[in-house]
Amino acid sequence: MVLSDRDIRTRLKKDLRISPFDDSCVQPSSVDLHLGDEFLIFDSHSQSLIDTKNEVKSLMKKIIIKGDEPLILHLREFILATTIEKLKIPHDLVGRLDGKSSLGRIGLVIHSTAGFFDPGFEGQATLEISNLANLPIALYKGMKICQMSFVQMTSPAQYPYGHKKLNSHYFGQKGVKGSEISSVWGKK
């Protein structure tokens, strides 16, 4: 069951956290989130491939945009970005992140695969942004970039995200965070 605007507002008063929060960003079944100022971009000139058995952080460089300057996302370019908002999802809700239709209609994809936020997630959302258009797209800090909806679970999670029994790589993340793919092979 997807929470309505009424239920989102009720849970925000109780145990759901979005900070900073602007009530005008509540939509009928979601909350609009804003683009932060940190980005990770692949440095494709230093490596010939991404080897999932090896740590990949060294393949990316961090860019921070200042003020009103845009980040220009070129054709077929992939970047990681972050939301301004920090989230804290209760143990009985799942967060679902989707792009804004107005951005999708110009070829901007906001998440490749990771639009699912487990119960217990805390931190800023990392976005997996791609430009499918045939022209570059200018992105600006503070623009509405995505929307988060919330799904009620049948019961609270026994081991929510961040629990010591889990290997929750992205729990409490601040800023944009790259992939922890090498950890599936037991490497850090």
Catalytic residue among 55, 69, 122, 128: 128
What are the C-alpha distances in Å from 73 to residues 3, 114, 131? 33, 20, 7
State yes or no: cis peptide before 20, omega within 30 of 0: yes
Rounded to 5°, angle at Cα 39 from 162 and 90: 25
The tokens for 131 are: 């430009």
Q: Give the residue from 143, 115, 135 showing the smallest Cα distance to 73.
A: 135
CB 152 within 8 Å of CB 93: yes
Helix (H) or strand (E) holding 42: strand 31-42
Query: For the residues of 2-19, what is the DSSP string, one character each?
Result: BPPHHHHHHHHHHT-EEE
Q: Is 85 a catalytic residue?
A: no
Residues that are catalytic: 128
